[in-house]
Amino acid sequence: MEKIEVFLGNRSYFINIGSSIFEIENIFFPLKPGDQAMLVTNNIVANMWKSNINYYLNKMEIKVDYVILPDGEVTKNVGSMEYIVSELLKKLHGRDTTLIALGGGVVGDITGFVASIYQRGVRFIQIPTTFLSQVDASIGGKTSINHILGKNMIGSFWQPVSVIVNLDYLSTLPKDQLISGIAEVIKYAIVFDSMFFNWLEENIDFILKLDVKKISYCIKKCCKIKKMIVEQDERENGSRILLNLGHTFGHAIETYLGYGIWLHGEAVAVGIAMSAETSCLLGWLSTFEKNRIINLLHRVGLPTKGPKNMDFSSYFSNFLRDKKVTSGMIRLVLPVSIGKAVIYSNIKDDILISAINRCR
């Protein structure tokens, strides 16, 4: 197992990465015998992994209750939040309880959000089961639920007390979920590390085949980048905004289509393609590097074309609700080269229209 510490003063915590990870003593730290916990998961993950987690929690003499949600992005809403809170109250969970998120980004986001508001804040542990959540969503304390008018519009910053990345979970992950997660990996490389992008070009086929050494390196690399950025800018006032490459376009697609129609990584992949096209039209990103980005997305099996029936006005109305908007001004994260991105405002509509049309 490898432990990566996220340094945030008295809110610091470890990202624990490994196989057979629950065999390790004290892996559920800071839980101790006699503690109370609520495990939140979805029906698909529960069928595969709930009994396994239950075995180890019982072995530690943790008093655990369960909430099992329907699978999918459509679950990340106010109704599910209220249901979890009601179950916590019915089972008499106090301020000393710990919520445990066992699932992908949806489960992690909603569990973290409930932890941030239940009795004004309780502890929570992230146990991510998807590739996307292992490399990105489980780290950094961004929690949220969706609103019908915008993705992740209701939320808070609330750090977990521990992240447990069990590599064994990837063996049962559907292929489309693995591919979706790789979109976030490519995002990291484009924004922060050209050498990592080169490595991905050379090793992407091994990752798609779940080669243990390659995928372990990939997850650890992304976790180290994410931890560095979170330490620099926990509440997304500066450099952490760069992690949103592709997300302004991607969230617009998800909101327009309806949550869960496309996987998050699929929408982000199109967003990355549109961002690259925008930067290329502005004369920043070279055509050669834009094509490298598009080609890598294609090799993974990710889309680079948005919904054909989604016109510019549909994107633009969602852009205005984006969390990066300040004083009514749209800000986009754009790659200027592989390994470097910038936050840019005042992009003319004709540039955005051309970029979107090139990706339709």
Q: Which of 244, 254, 318, 331 is catalytic?
A: 244
| 103 annotated among ligand-binding-site residues | no
C-beta neighbour count of 270 within 10 angstroms: 27
Q: Could you confirm whether 331 is annotated as catalytic?
A: no
Per-residue pLDDT of the chain (360 residues; tens, 9 = 90+): 899 999 999 999 999 999 999 999 899 999 999 999 999 999 999 999 999 999 999 999 999 999 999 999 999 999 999 999 999 999 999 999 999 999 999 999 999 999 999 999 999 999 999 999 999 999 999 999 999 988 899 999 999 999 999 999 999 999 999 999 999 999 999 999 999 999 999 999 999 999 999 999 999 999 999 999 999 999 999 999 999 999 999 999 999 999 889 999 999 999 999 999 999 999 999 999 999 999 999 999 999 999 999 988 899 888 877 666 665 678 899 999 999 999 998 899 899 999 999 998
Residue with tokens 């979109």: 183
Gap between the Cα atoms of 113 and 110, Å rounded: 5
Q: Could you confirm whether 247 is annotated as catalytic?
A: yes
Q: Could you confirm whether 299 is annotated as catalytic?
A: no
| 184 annotated among ligand-binding-site residues | yes
Q: Could you confirm whether 226 is annotated as catalytic?
A: yes
Q: Helix 78-90 vs helix 105-117: angle between axes, to the nearest 10 degrees?
A: 60
DSSP state letter for 70: P
**What is the full DSSP assignment across 39-64?**
EEEEHHHIIIIIHHHHHHHHHTT-EE
Q: Residue 166 is encoded by which pair of tokens?
A: 């069990």
Going by C-alpha positions, the residue among 128, 161, 133 that lies closest to residue 53 is 128
Which domains can be identified in the chain, with CATH numbers?
2-172 (3.40.50.1970), 176-358 (1.20.1090.10)
3-state helix, strand, coil in the chain (%, to 5): 50, 20, 30
**Amino acid letter for position 58:** N
Rounded to two decimals, the pTM is: 0.94
CA-based max dimension of the chain:
62
Q: Could you confirm whether 234 is annotated as catalytic?
A: no
| 97 annotated among ligand-binding-site residues | no
Q: Which of 184, 234, 266, 277 is catalytic?
A: 184
Q: Which of 236, 254, 266, 289 is catalytic?
A: 236
